Amino acid sequence: MLWRAGEFGVVVLGPGSAEPRTLTGTGTALWAALDRPISPRDLAADLAGRFGVDPARVEVDIAPVLAELLRIGAIVTDPA
């Protein structure tokens, strides 16, 4: 997997994709928070705290992004 951060956001190229994905805006904070193993619920709570919004709303908003990152192999799930 390859990725690069810049003023434009974060560009991610997973091994399961020929096309890179770009995360912009709060997507850069999401990507940074994925630097360690974290559950989607804890990730949502972390981001909600940073941005002062409802964790349940964040969890709904990040679900498709996490699904896409998982689909292209940019992130993996913990089998435990």
Residues comprising the chain, all counted: 80
**Is 80 a member of any domain?**
no
Structural domain that includes position 40: 2-71
- In the structure, what pLDDT confidence band is assigned to residue 78 with cuts at 50, 70 and 90? confident
**Is 41 a member of any domain?**
yes
- In the structure, what pLDDT confidence band is assigned to residue 80 with cuts at 50, 70 and 90? low
**Is 78 a member of any domain?**
no
**Is 79 a member of any domain?**
no
**Is 77 a member of any domain?**
no
pLDDT tens-digit map of 23-73: 999 999 999 999 999 999 999 999 999 999 999 999 999 999 999 999 999
The total of structural domains in the chain comes to 1
pTM of the model: 0.90
